[in-house]
A and B are shown apart, each in its own frame.
Chain A
Amino acid sequence: MAAARDIAEPKGRMAGAAGAIPRHHYAAFAVMVALLLVAPLFVYPIFLMKVLCFALFASAFNLLIGYVGLVSFGHAAFFGGAAYITGHTAKVWGFPPELAILAGTAAAALLGLGFGLLAIRRQGIYFAMITLALAQMIFFVSLQAPFTGGEDGIQAVPRGVMFGFLDLGDIETLYFVVLAIFLGGFLLIYRIIHSPFGHVLRAIRENEPRAVSLGYKVDHYKLLAFVLSAALAGLAGGTKTIVFQLASLTDVHWTMSGEVILMTLLGGLGTVFGPAVGALVLVSLQNYLAQIGSWVTVVQGTIFVICVLTFRRGIIGELGRLLKRSL
C-alpha cells in the first residue's frame, strides 16, 4: 500500500504553528456554511446528511492522523460502536435522539480510552495493527452480541423528537439538526487544533523526543487526542444511525476504517477542510456511481491511484499550496 508510507511521513505540513486564527479560514468557513445552507435546495437532503456524517467522521480521524501523526486503522469501531449504541438506546430503551446520540458518543469515548491506553504505547505500523486488532474484536462482538441483530443490524430505529420539540421525522428539520451537529463537531476540532493543546500535539508529530525533552508528558497528550477523536467519530456514527434509522455491520467493518483513511488522504491530510471534501467526493462516488454497477469499485480504486500519484497533498492540500495558504 503506497498510502501507508504517505501516512507515516505526512508531507503537506501546511498547517503551521501560527498562533492567531488566519483570516482566510473565516472566509472558507463562511463559504462552507453558506453552501451547506442552500445545498438542500439542489441536492437530495438525505444524501447531504450522509456526507455530513462522514465529513465529521473524517475530520475526527484527521485530528489524530493529521495533527498527531497517529495512523489508527480501527476507527470503524468507534463509528460503528456508537451507531449500535445509539440505535439500541433509541429503539429499545426509548431514548430521545439527543440522549441516544450522546450515549453513542460516550460509548465511543470509553472505547477510545480503552483502545488508546493500549495502542499509544507503540508507534507506526504497530500502532495501526493494535488498533486494527482491537477494532476486529469490536466487529466480532457486533456480529455475535444479541442486541446488534447480527448481520441484519438494528433496523427501524425511530428518529424521534429532539429536545421535545424538533420533530426529526421532518426531513428539513433533520437536515438542520445534522448540520448543526456537524458544524459543532467541526468547530470543536478546529478549536482543538488551534489551542495550545493542539500545538503540543503538532510538536509531538514533528519530533516526539524533543517534545519529551521539553517536559511534555507525551502519552497523556496522545491519549487525550485519541479519546477526542474516538468520541467525535462516535458522534458522527450516532448521528448517521438517526439519519438512516439503522446500524449495521458495514459501520464496524474494517473497510470502513479504510474508507475514512481514503477520505482523509483524498481531501488532504492535516488540513482543516480537507477531510470534509474527501468525504463529499467519496460518498458522492459511492452514491452516484451506484447505477453503473460493478464499475464502482474500479472507479474508486482508479481515483485513489491518481490521487496518490499526482496530488499527494490531497484536493485541499494542493489547493492550499496553489493559494499559498493553509486551508
Chain B
Amino acid sequence: MALKRKLMLSAALALAFTAGAAQAEISGDVIKIGVLNDRSGLYADLAGEGSVIAARMAVEDFGAADKGINVEILSADHQNKPDVGSNITRQWIDVDGVDVIADVPTSSVALAVNEIVRQKNKAFLNSGAGSSDLTGKACSPNTVHWTYDTWALANGTGKAVVQTGGDTWFFLTADYAFGHALERDTTAVVEESGGQVLGSVRHPLSTADFSSFLLQAQASGAKVIGLANAGGDTTNAIKQAAEFGIVQAGQSLAGLLVFLTDVHALGLQTAQGLVLTESFYWDLNDKTREWSERFAELNGGKYPTMVHAGVYASVLHYLKAAEATQSDDGTTVVTKMKEIPTDDPLFGQGEIRQDGRKIHDMYLFQVKAPEESKSPYDYYNLRATIPAAEAFRPIEEGECPLVQG
C-alpha cells in the first residue's frame, strides 16, 4: 500500500513537473490545483495552456513558497467531453489528492465537475464556462463562478448598447437551447432599458452561409444586430457581415459571446466596430497592463483573455482563504472565500456572493478600426462600464437553493 502511494505521489510529482510548478517545499499542507480545460480544440486559445500559466503566476504572486505552503499544479485536456472531464476530475480527487479544480470551459463539462466536486467536498473555481446555472439551479457550496456568465454578457451588452444609443435590435440566433436563452435574456434587457427588438432569425448550428440571415438583418433597419451564438458561428457571421459591408453601412454588430482571441483571429479589418462585453481587458489600467505583459512573456507573446485573468484571480483568492483557514477542505475554504472581500490586480475589489457568484464590474468594448490600433493586441475601446451592482443576475432571481429567501 505504501509503495502504491509512493508511486502515485511520484506520478503526481512528474505531472506537476511537466506543468513546471513543483515547489521545493515539502513541509506543510500540499494544495493541489487541477487546471482542467480544453487544450486541443475550440477553446484551447481562450483557456488552454494560458490558464495553467495564470494559475502558476497566482501561486507565485501569493508567495506560497515563502509562506511555507506547498502548492502543486496539474493540468489536463477534457477535450470538451463531459465524460472525459468527469473521469479526470474523479481520478484527480480520488487518486491524486487534488483539492481544487480550476477553469473548466464548456458548460456541460463544468456542470459535471460541479456535481463531482460537491459530492467529494473539494473546491471548484470556474472561470471558463458561461452557464449561469452554476450559480442558479445547480449552485453548490463548493463552487465559485468567477469571470462571467451568459446572463452578465446578455445584460451588459443589451443594457449598455441601448444606453449608448443602439435602441433598435435584430437578432441572429443559433437554433438551439443556448442561442435561444441568449436571445431571450438579451431581449428582456433591451426592452427593459427602453429599446426595441424589431425581429430575429434563427440559423442552424454550425452553418457556413449567413448571407440570407444577414440580408434579413440588414433589411430590418435595426441599429444593432445581436449575435446570439458562439464560437465558429459568431466568427463566421462577423466575417460575412464584413463582406456585406454591414458595419460600414451604419449598423453595428453586438457579439454576445466573443473573446479577445476571437477578435485576434478575425483581425481588426473584419471585426472593427463590433460591440462586446467582457469582464477583463489587458489595457484597463496600470496593474492589468503590468500583469498582462508578464503573462504574454510566459505565453509566447499572446495576451490574456478574461478567462486567464479569472483563473489567476480565483486561484489567488483561494490560496488566501486556504491560508486563513489553514485548511484545504472544500466547503471550509469556499465559505472563507465568500467571507473575505476579494482584492486582486485584475478585477480590483469585489466579493463573492452566497450563491458562488463573483461580483465585479463588466465592460462594454468596441473593437477598434485598424488605423486606431497602435500596438499588438490594442483592440478595444472602452464604451461603458457596467457597475458591479448591476452587472450580474440579482441573487434572488437565480433559484439557487443555497439562498434562502
Contacts and interface: CB of A to CB of B under 8 A. Distances in A.
A101 interface: no
A2 B143 CA distance: 47
Contacts of B82: 153, 244, 246, 248, 250
Given A156-B115, A246-B86, 15 more contacts: A46-B91, A143-B177, A144-B175, A146-B177, A155-B108, A155-B138, A248-B81, A286-B79, A290-B76, A291-B15, A291-B18, A292-B77, A293-B48, A293-B75, A295-B40
Nearest to A145: B177
A295 B91 CA distance: 21
B131 A44 contact: no
Given A143-B205, A144-B176, A155-B112, A293 B81 contact: no
B250 to A, nearest CB: 34
B78 interface: yes
A47 interface: yes
Nearest to B204: A140
A290 B78 contact: yes
Interface string B61-105: 000000000000011111111111011101100110000000000
B177 A244 contact: no
A296 B77 contact: yes
A46 B82 CA distance: 14
Interface of A: 44, 46-47, 50, 143-144, 146, 149-153, 155-156, 240, 244-246, 248-251, 286-287, 290-297
A155 B107 CA distance: 11
Given A44-B91, A290-B79, A293-B77, A156 B176 contact: no
A152 B176 contact: no
Nearest to A289: B77
B108 A248 contact: yes
Contacts of A250: 80-83, 108
Given A143-B205, A149-B177, A294 B86 contact: no
Contacts of A44: 90-91, 94-95
Contacts of B77: 290-294, 296
Contacts of B205: 143
A254 B302 CA distance: 33
A297 B107 contact: no
A237 to B, nearest CB: 11
Interface string B303-329: 000000000000000000000000000
B83 A50 contact: yes
17 contacts: A46-B90, A46-B91, A50-B87, A151-B176, A152-B133, A152-B177, A244-B83, A244-B112, A250-B80, A250-B81, A250-B83, A286-B79, A287-B84, A287-B91, A292-B77, A294-B44, A294-B48
Interface residues of B, number: 39
Interface in B28-64: 39-40, 44, 48-49
B112 A287 contact: no
A151 B178 contact: yes
A296 B94 CA distance: 23
Contact of B107 (A151, A293, A294, A295): A151
Interface of B: 15, 18, 39-40, 44, 48-49, 74-84, 86-88, 90-91, 94-95, 107-108, 111-112, 114-115, 131, 133, 138, 175-178, 205
A143 B87 contact: no
Contacts of A246: 82-83, 86, 108, 111-112, 115
B400 to A, nearest CB: 15
Nearest to B179: A150
A249 B175 CA distance: 15
B138 A244 contact: no
Contacts of B49: 293
A326 to B, nearest CB: 33
B80 to A, nearest CB: 8
A291 B44 contact: no
Given A44-B91, A244-B83, A293 B40 contact: yes
A290 B112 contact: no
B338 to A, nearest CB: 23
Leading 9 A-B pairs by shortest Cβ distance? A150-B177, A293-B39, A294-B40, A290-B76, A248-B82, A155-B111, A250-B81, A156-B115, A153-B108
A240 B86 CA distance: 12
B1 to A, nearest CB: 11
Given A150-B177, A153-B82, A156-B138, A290 B88 contact: yes
Contact of A249 (B84, B86, B108): B108
B110 to A, nearest CB: 9
Contacts of A46: 87, 90-91, 94
Find the residue from A46, A149, A245, A290 having the highest chain B CB count within 10 A: A290
A150 B133 contact: no
A286 B74 CA distance: 17
Contacts of A152: 107-108, 111, 131, 133, 177
A258 to B, nearest CB: 13
Given A153-B82, A155-B115, A47 B87 contact: yes
A155 B113 CA distance: 10
B177 A151 contact: yes
A230 B205 CA distance: 27
